[in-house]
Structure 1
Amino acid sequence: MVKNGEYFKMKDMRERGMSITQIADELGRDRKTVRKWLQADEPCGYPIRKPVAGKLDAYKDYIRKRMAEGCLNAMVILDEIRAKGYTGGSTMLRLFMQPLRPAVQSKATERFETQPGEQAQVDWGEFKVEQDGRMKRLYAFIMVLGYSRAMYVEFTEDSRLDSLMGCHTRAFTYFGGVTRTCLYDNMKTVVTGQDESGETIWNEPFTRFAGHYGFTLRRCKPYRARTKGKVENGVGYVRKNFWPRVSTFTGLQDLNAQARHWLNTIANQRLHGTTFRVPWEMWKEESLRPVTEVPFAYAERHPRKVSSDCYVSFEANRYTVPFQYVGSVVEIEDEKNGTLRFYCGGQLIAEHPKSMGRRQIVSNKKHFEGIRSTSSRPVGEPTPRYVPQAAPEVLERSLSVYDSLMEEAVLQ
């Protein structure tokens, strides 16, 4: 197609007396083309193409909304819009999201790799949820195996020592073993300070816990959080990939069930961005030490008496136990992860999800089964029994005795 600048040049050359052949030779055009354009009153523009709707167009408003809410993870948004019908790939989505992202300044660092079974890195992350119109703080315990990048996540009410030890125990069970060392920052539940020579002073109860499970404590350098960058990245990954997927949850037990599903289907099954391998596949190469079968007593148990209606009160809520324990004193073990366990005589008798509210009733119908069959017949009032009075005994005498008495009465 002839451009409009070339059209006006043809007109000028024609007005200067040049023939169509001369103009065609000068511009390298066919004579028919030159004649056609010279006969036209004005240059023809390019046809305006109708815009074609892209695969992503219908979802751009939703993407902007999710990014405004703080979800900047492209894979999370990709899963969400695919559920809404999006058929495109992730590249188109990333290109659209890139100019909308806030600028992030990164610093160079050196990466250290560990051998299989050598090290696990541990940290806490803080998350906020809305409950009854108020913001409540939850804590996420995160352990990452240094070699495979396999991850364990558990949400708790607090980050106290008993919660930390309980999370370790369940993480070891999840991984099926214990690493030779565990790396921590300066959390107070693990590190209490340092002596005059700069050596770390460890929390004494936690050192006994570490000795019980057979792992060595390691501390990252102060103000050098990047020395445990694997778990730092893990905290960020949980915040960006798991947390945006949580729309609602009924309690910590439900939240941890969602986290476990995410671990088993996404976090530990993805192609890791650093190793370019699947963490669960690399986990098979970890030479973990076996977990001791002897438990470590880390959680405090709270004694409570079972009322006549089979309920036990704990932290302003009521929970059922089997009716056979009415009147007994039971012990409640709170692991601060959304689960309450009830013991009597050292035996586990009940387990409940812990209520996050107050004045709630949590019951299990099975705890009442059999209560009617054993006590359905009412105890009646005592009824006196009539006993007839016995007839008096009569002395038997011969008739001659009575005849003599009659003769005496006549003589008188």
Structure 2
Amino acid sequence: MIFDEIKAQGYTGGKTILRTFMQPLRPAVLTKATVRFETSPGHQAQVDWGRFRVDWNGEPKRLYAFVMVLGFSRMMYVEFTEDEKLDTFIGYHLRAFEYFGGRPEVVLYDNMKTVVTDFDERGHAVWNERFKRFAAHHGFLLQNCRPYRARTKGKVENGIGYVRKNFWPRVQTFTGLDDLNRQVRQWLDTVANVRAHGTTREIPRERWLREGLKPLNPMPFEEVDKQARKVSSDACVSYENNRYSVPFEWVGQIVHVQDLKNGKIRIYYGERLLAEHPKAAGKYQRVVNEKHFEGLTAAGKHKVSQPMPRLVPKAIPEVLERDLSIYEQFTDEAVVQR
């Protein structure tokens, strides 16, 4: 970074002279000898968060840098955000994969609470269910660092250090996160990914051509991501602190909620669509479709009235009226027969 700055100010010398000049100023650093772990092309990426402090309208504020480094080429992706939430994390994976032109076979994480919810009795990571579905959808495996062995993700740790030492001092001002991310993207494209890497001695972008990354699933994850819920006695399911109705016949059944991330919620039983609702903007709201309760007997004093039997009077048979002359004729006929 110093070389870039003094070169812009007119320095015409080389890096060797600058290193010689800077050598007495560098502090002595003692490190433990370790065996460096190198990955094959396309096999692994490493991910971690970096934390940075900024002056945000006169108040100190923490920003988070999502950093992903491809293990073989050392190609790096960086993006700043205001939180470390799971949806943010998933979105940054997608943009990193888009930047790299594909995904590796495995992604390595430390034991961040966003994705590792617990450990089983054998010490294996219990992954966040939704993040595990996201990884399975796009076809990459999840791997976590062994506890107290952070050096197993040294590539991304070094990447965060490089961001802190080389990019961060360049940032004098920024107008917002969009501007800060524009600056870091320019740094990635003009500095980080085009310089000779200190370990490989190759340019990451040129080495990246040999990564052989796999394509992502063309179907967006949010279109297939569904979360299981049980339909409660009021014919509603709970999702993100709100309740949504389904037809009352499904009370007690396990259904699946799909958040389209476009303001709509869909609820399925298998492949059958039971309901679609606008997504509630707040919390503790109840979103219902009145048609879902049609035919349901109400509780309490507002019972649906039962049909009452109706008495129908028996009909009086009609009497046929005849002229009296007809009866006289019958009488005459009887006398004749005698």
- What TM bracket, shorter-length normalisation? 0.5 to 0.7
Q: 2:120 aligns with which of 188, 192, 195?
A: 195
Displacement of 1:94 in angstroms is: 2.4
* Aligned: 1:111 with 2:36: yes
TM-fit CA distance, 1:169: 0.6
2:85 equivalent to 1:180: no
Aligned match for 1:240, one of 144, 149, 165: 165
SS at match of 1:221: coil
Question: Identical aligned pairs, as a percentage?
Answer: 66
Size of the aligned set, in residue pairs, is 227
For 1:248-267, list aligned pairs within 5 A: 248-267=173-192
TM-score normalised by the chain length of structure 2: 0.64
The answer for the alignment partner of 2:87 in structure 1 is 162
Pick closer, same or farther for the CA change 1:136–1:285 going to 2, 3 Å.
same
Structure 2 counterpart SS, 1:189: coil
- Mapped partners of 1:170, 1:113: distance in 2: 25
Once the two structures are superposed, what CA deviation does each residue of 1:171-208 show, in whole Å capped at 9, x if it has no partner? 11111111111000000011112111222111111101
Report deviation, 1:331.
Answer: 6.0
2:254 aligned partner? none
**Aligned-partner SS, 2:222:** coil
Per the alignment, residue 368 of structure 1 pairs with none
The equivalent position to 2:145 in structure 1, one of 202, 213, 220, is: 220
1:42-53 alignment, distance < 5 Å: none
For residue 20 of structure 2, the aligned residue among 95, 108, 116 is 95
Q: SS where residue 48 of structure 2 aligns?
A: strand
Question: Which of 209, 231, 234 matches 2:134?
Answer: 209
CA shift at 1:78, angstroms? 1.5
SS at match of 1:177: coil
Q: Which protein has the bigger helix share? A: 1
Q: Distance in 2 between matches of 1:195 and 1:331?
A: 36
In the aligned structure 2, how far is the partner of 1:332 from the partner of 1:253? Answer: 23
Q: Which runs of 5+ in 2 are unaligned?
A: 224-260, 265-338
Distance in 2 of aligned mates of 1:135 and 1:104: 31
Match of 2:319 in 1: none
Q: Which residue of 1 aligns with 2:321?
A: none
Distance 2:5 2:209 in 1: 31
CA–CA distance in 1 between the matches of 2:72 and 2:2? 29
C-alpha displacement of 1:81: 1.5
Q: Which residue of 2 aligns with 1:146?
A: 71
* TM-score, with length taken from structure 1: 0.53
| Structural mapping, 1:393-412, within 5 Å | none
Please list the CA deviations of residues 16-36 of structure 1 after superposition, one character each: whole Å capped at 9, or x if unmatched. xxxxxxxxxxxxxxxxxxxxx
Alpha-carbon distance in 1 for matches of 2:203, 2:14 = 21
Q: What is the correspondence of 1:64-83 to structure 2 with a 5 Å cutoff?
A: 76-83=1-8
C-alpha deviations, 1:262-287, integer Å up to 9, x for none?
11111111111111111111111112
2 CA distance for matches of 1:189 and 1:261?
28
SS in 2 for 1:111: coil
Residue type at the aligned position of 2:114:
T
The structure with more radius of gyration: 1
- Partner secondary structure for residue 114 of structure 2: coil
Partner of residue 123 from structure 1, selected from 4, 23, 48: 48
Letter in 2 for 1:247: Q
Q: CA deviation at 1:220?
A: 1.0
Q: Which secondary structure state, in structure 2, belongs to the residue aligned with residue 141 of structure 1? A: strand
Which string of whole-angstrom CA distances, capped at 9 and with x for unpartnered residues, describes residues 50-78 of structure 1?
xxxxxxxxxxxxxxxxxxxxxxxxxx112
Structure 1 segments of 4 or more deviating over 3 A? Answer: 330-333
Counterpart of 2:221 in 1: which secondary structure?
Answer: coil
How many Å separate the matches in 2 of 1:192 and 1:145? 25
Give the alignment's Cα RMSD to 1 decimal.
1.9
Whole-angstrom distance in 1 between the partners of 2:263 and 2:167 = 31
Distance 1:184 1:128, change over 3 A: same
Q: 1:263-342 to 2 correspondence within 5 Å?
A: 263-297=188-222
Gaps of 5+ in 1: 1-75, 299-329, 334-412
- CA–CA distance in structure 2, aligned partners of residues 332 and 102 of structure 1: 55
Gap change, CA 1:211 and 1:78, over 3 Å in 2: same
> Cα offset for 1:104?
2.4
Match of 1:402 in 2: none
